[in-house]
Amino acid sequence: MEQTPKLRFDKVDMVFFRPNQPPVQVLKSISFDVGAGEFVCLLGPSGCGKSTILNIAAGLIRPSAGTVTAGSRLVTGPGWDRGVVFQEYALFPWLTVRENVVLGAKSGAGKVDHVRFDHFLGVTTGMYAHKDKLPKELSGGMKQRAAIARTLANDPEIILMDEPFGALDPYTREALQDQLVEIWSASRKTIMFVTHSVEEAAYLAGVVILLKAHPGELKAVIRNETRWPRERASEELIGIERAIRRVERT
């Protein structure tokens, strides 16, 4: 049963050098594995380097030391096999929702399959009715739905999400969390999700990777075996939250 992990961090260090200032160690010897189909949450206070970890996994920045492997390949740069959903949505403002989605897919699977895109927009993210709108005409929640559709259309192996619902109001956030879970359970994609919300991590994750700050270090890995469908504020999830908070305090 023990397969090669979808994503492996092996003793990753990250040190930022700034002129006329002492270097800052952002990450210190980070090692963890993300298995195929897992939903992993990176949880920690600001300054713990969780977004840095995500950016390293995406290949957007290079670690100072250590190696990152995605599947069987060493990560040396960005690639369509690791799709990223940003907190700032990052939709191209000059393209409609649909064109944004198509743009991503052109680099991934090779050919543009319009039936599949409409499927993504319609079934997966509920954006079909808004497919010809420009990003500026959309609400925050709709923008993030479009961005998720764009990432999915590229058919990545791993979806990296950097506090994707951080800028949304609580109602929209919960709706998108549920939608994400649906997508995840239907597609069995591997997801690494950065958040600083204990509730969000407890609700979404199968594995919570807890980090501490200054320097960013792995503190604990907490498994969340709660079965789906999960219920918010259920005894089980509150128990998980309590366990996370207990470790955080130590």
Where does this chain bind another protein (CB under 8 A)? 58-60, 77-80, 82-84, 86, 88, 90-95, 103-104, 106-108, 134-136, 150-151, 154
- Give the other-Cβ count within 10 Å of 133's Cβ: 15
Shortest approach of another protein to residue 162 CB, angstroms? 10
Cβ at position 58, least distance to another protein in Å: 5
The residue (of 86 and 203) whose beta carbon lies closer to another protein is 86
Minimum distance from CB of 239 to another protein (Å)? 36
Angle between helical axes of 140-153 and 97-107 (0-180°, round to 10): 30
Nearest to 36, CA basis, from 195, 194, 206: 206
Which residues, in sequence order, are CB contacts of 248 under 8 Å at separation 6+? 198, 210, 219
Q: Measured from the CB atom, is 134 or 220 closer to another protein? A: 134
Q: 190-195 and 158-162 as β-strands: parallel, antiparallel, unpaired?
A: parallel
CB of 55 to another protein, least distance (A): 8
DSSP reduced 3-state for 121: helix
Q: Output 96 or 224, the one with its CB closest to another protein.
A: 96
Could you give the CA distance from residue 67 to residue 62 in angstroms, rounded to a whole number? 9
User: Toward another protein, which CB reaches closer, 165 or 203?
Assistant: 165
Residues 6+ apart with CB under 8 A from 237: 202, 203, 226, 230, 231
Going from the C-alpha of 148 to that of each of 31, 55, 103, 195, the distances in angstroms are 27, 17, 13, 16
Residue 58 or 198: the one with the smaller Cβ distance to another protein is 58
Q: How far is the CB of 157 from another protein (least distance, A)?
A: 13
